[in-house]
Structure 1
Amino acid sequence: MKRFFRNNGLSVVTLGLFVLLWGAQALTGWQAYNEEAQEHDRAVLGLGAYLESGHFWEATGENWESEFLQMAAFVLLTARLYQRGSAESKPLPEDEQAPEPPPSGPPPGPVRRGGWAAQLYSHSLSLTLLLLFAASFVLHLLGGAAEYNREAAAHGQPAVSTLAFLGSAEFWHQSFQNWQSEFLAVGAMAVLTIFLRERGSAESKPVEAPHHHTGR
């Protein structure tokens, strides 16, 4: 177990925190939903029913969508753009040294097969993140439409279709307020790593590295 945690500690801790905090989101969202329902003399929901509600899935999809957009954009942009001095950038072309020898061991299967499999695999990270973004976008849309129609029914207003909700200012306001914050975070990370350090972190340059040093 010690060796497993040493080799996989980052994923174990981050995914464990994800499960813990998603559970906390569900419980607090359930409480907030029922408090609002009681204030308006509407029926409260059990936890199981709440986990199937638009209120829960709208909030979940809205946040997952912005995170996967951030990571997909980060992967694609850092493949093509530079930021002098940033640990989040590849070294500038004039600063690149001789390439390091390839790691020992056999390459992944798609690389060994070559052709279209290798070509697809060479972009598999960004493609997968974009697919996860698209799935989360749909989850946000479906959950948001359900929640919008629940609110509309409570106020005696007609329901709207999922397509109509897609074209609404409400849906895009929810999306844009999350998307802008993700790009702010990426930009802040790119700039702050020029001047600041965190000893031992893979996201930081060495503490002794000059500010103009680019890459990790």
Structure 2
Amino acid sequence: MAKWAKEHGLLLVNLALFLIFFGGMILSGAATYSEEQQAHGEAGVSVLQFLGTGEFVEATFENWESEFLQMALYVVLTVFLFQKGSSESKPMGKEAPQDEDPREAAIKKATPWPVKRGGMVLKFYEHSLSILMFALFLASFTAHALGGTEAYNEEQQSHGEPTVTFLQYIGTSRFWFESFQNWQSEFLAIAVLVGASVYLREKGSPESKPVAEPHYETGS
């Protein structure tokens, strides 16, 4: 068990942090939502009731969509684009292992099944990481819009205003403000990491070049 935990430590710790912060978001969100409801003369909600509100769905998935969009585009952009000196870039002027054609690879026992199968299965597998990320982005984008529609309509009804459909809500400035305010921060963070990794180091991290390596060396 200890060996397995060590081999999967990065994933396990990140999942644990996700659950801790997600739990904190739910508890604080339920409290905030109840306070707002009570301020408008309505009953507060329990934590479980909060999970069924458009407010919770909207807040959750508007953040998830930006994360998956960031990762999807980053995976694709690093195929074609380079940053001299950055550990986040493939090496410049020479072949990278990621560019090798799997059809020419020696088949071993541990070779992934899609590579052994070839054809359309391999074609899909070659791009499966970006496909997954874009699929998760689209799913989160849709859930954000659905939750946002419900939350928006609750506000409209409380003010005696007409409600909107799902498609109408996607056309509102509120929906796109919620999206863009998250998207911009994700790509700022990526830009800072790409640029900073040219000159700064973190000993022991695969996200950093070796500490003594020159700034112009590209790739980790």
What TM-score, normalized to structure 1? 0.95
Within a 5 Å distance, the mapping from 1:121-140 to structure 2 comes to 121-140=125-144
Deviation at 1:50, TM superposition (A): 0.7
Residue matched to 2:145: 141
Which residue type is aligned with residue 92 of structure 1?
Answer: M
Which residue type is aligned with residue 172 of structure 1?
Answer: W
Q: CA 1:103–1:90 in 2, change beyond 3 Å: closer, same or farther?
A: farther
Aligned counterparts of 1:119 and 1:96: Cα–Cα separation in 2: 19
Aligned counterparts of 1:166 and 1:132: Cα–Cα separation in 2: 18
Which residue type is aligned with residue 87 of structure 1?
Answer: S
Aligned counterparts of 2:82 and 2:93: Cα–Cα separation in 1: 9
Within a 5 Å distance, the mapping from 1:52-201 to structure 2 comes to 52-94=52-94, 105-201=109-205
Deviations 1:41-79 (A, max 9, x none): 112112211101001010000000000001001100001
Deviation at 1:96, TM superposition (A): 6.3
Deviation at 1:4, TM superposition (A): 1.2
Which residue type is aligned with residue 188 of structure 1?
Answer: V
Deviation at 1:37, TM superposition (A): 1.0
Deviation at 1:126, TM superposition (A): 0.2
Residue matched to 1:13: 13
Residue matched to 1:32: 32
Which residue type is aligned with residue 69 of structure 1?
Answer: L
Moved over 2 A (4+): 94-97, 99-106
What TM-score, normalized to structure 2? 0.93
Deviations 1:61-114 (A, max 9, x none): 0000000001001100001100000000000025869x9998975211011000
Aligned counterparts of 2:135 and 2:216: Cα–Cα separation in 1: 36
Aligned counterparts of 1:128 and 1:47: Cα–Cα separation in 2: 31
Q: Which runs of 5+ in 1 are unaligned?
A: none
Aligned counterparts of 1:125 and 1:161: Cα–Cα separation in 2: 33
Q: Does 1:48 align with 2:48?
A: yes
Q: CA 1:24–1:177 in 2, change beyond 3 Å: closer, same or farther?
A: same
Aligned counterparts of 2:108 and 2:181: Cα–Cα separation in 1: 45
Aligned counterparts of 1:156 and 1:164: Cα–Cα separation in 2: 18
Q: How big is the alpha-carbon RMSD for the aligned residues of Structure 1 and Structure 2?
A: 1.9
Q: Which runs of 5+ in 2 are unaligned?
A: none
Q: 1:190 is paired with a residue of what secondary structure?
A: helix
Aligned counterparts of 2:95 and 2:8: Cα–Cα separation in 1: 33
Confirm or deny: 8 A CA contact 2:107 2:116 kept in the other structure. no
Q: 2:122 is paired with a residue of what secondary structure?
A: helix
